């Protein structure tokens, strides 16, 4: 009973501090590669290789060959573009109007957009690679909050991808 009351109290305090809002991913997210192209999900949410902590638990890894265009999953403003020293390598972060952030990591290079610029969904923001702590070319993608914690999300076109399955994007054009 005490544990339940403590949990309930914590929830009430959290709700009061956050205005009752919960962070959600953009509701129009499309897979982060060119529409019509199909790639495999090599690691899904809570993957045992590297998606086991609060920074990565809701992330996905997609087997995009090096140099593949990476597209914005939803419109927003670029807040980070550069080298990340925590292992993500070349990384792009976009802040969306709902307050969530999309993160694209291990890129080989970047698109033409700079920090502070608005990008439309489908814009090429980077090119996949294997920079940082990476075992080979792929895109590490996730939705994060303002503190960098991984947040639950799903794509409009491919749902919640599972490792070992391939998915076809509906984002942008070929």
User: In this predicted model, what pLDDT tens digit does every residue of 66-96 receive, in sequence order?
Assistant: 999 999 999 999 999 999 999 999 999 999 9
Task: Indicate the length of the chain as a whole number.
Answer: 174
- Rounded (10°) CA dihedral 64, 78, 54, 20: -130
Residue 16 pLDDT > 70, yes or no?
no
Q: Is residue 47 included in any domain, yes or no?
A: yes
Are residues 44 and 60 in contact, defined by beta-carbon separation less than 8 angstroms? Answer: yes
Q: Is residue 12 included in any domain, yes or no?
A: no
Find the range with the poorest average confidence among 24-28, 44-48, 62-66, 140-144.
Answer: 44-48
Which one-letter DSSP state was computed for residue 68? -
Q: Is residue 87 included in any domain, yes or no?
A: yes
According to the model, what pLDDT value does residue 56 have? 63
Query: Looking at residue 88, which CATH number applies to its domain?
Result: 2.70.70.10
Q: Is residue 130 included in any domain, yes or no?
A: yes
Local confidence band at 13 (pLDDT 50, 70, 90 cut-offs): very low
Domain count, the chain: 1
Distances (CA, A) of 4 to 8, 13, 81: 6, 14, 43
According to the model, what pLDDT value does residue 152 have? 78
Which domain does 143 fall in, by range?
24-168
Q: Is residue 56 included in any domain, yes or no?
A: yes
d(CA 62, CA 107): 12
According to the model, what pLDDT value does residue 55 have? 57
Q: Is residue 15 included in any domain, yes or no?
A: no
Residue 34 pLDDT > 90, yes or no?
yes
Residue 20 pLDDT > 70, yes or no?
no
Q: Is residue 4 included in any domain, yes or no?
A: no
Local confidence band at 48 (pLDDT 50, 70, 90 cut-offs): low
DSSP secondary structure, 96-136, as one string: -TTS-EEEEEEEEEE-S--TT-EE-TT-EEEEEB--SS-SS
According to the model, what pLDDT value does residue 145 have? 86
Q: Is residue 7 included in any domain, yes or no?
A: no
């Amino acid at each position: 009973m005490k544990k339940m009351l403590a949990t309930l109290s914590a929830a009430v305090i959290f709700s009061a501090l956050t205005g009752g809002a919960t962070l959600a991913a953009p509701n129009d997210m499309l897979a982060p590669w060119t529409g019509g192209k199909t790639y495999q999900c090599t690691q899904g949410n809570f993957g045992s290789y590297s998606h086991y902590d609060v920074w990565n638990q809701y992330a996905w890894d997609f087997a995009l060959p090096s140099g593949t265009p990476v597209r914005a999953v939803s419109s927003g403003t670029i807040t980070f573009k550069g080298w990340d020293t925590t292992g993500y390598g070349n990384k792009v972060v976009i802040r969306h109007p709902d307050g969530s952030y999309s993160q694209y990591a291990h890129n080989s290079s970047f698109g033409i957009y700079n920090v502070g610029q608005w990008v439309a969904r489908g814009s090429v923001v980077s090119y996949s690679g294997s920079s940082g702590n990476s075992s080979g070319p792929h895109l590490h993608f996730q939705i994060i909050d303002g503190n960098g914690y991984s947040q639950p999300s799903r794509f409009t076109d491919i749902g919640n991808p599972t490792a070992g399955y391939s998915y076809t994007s509906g984002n942008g054009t070929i």
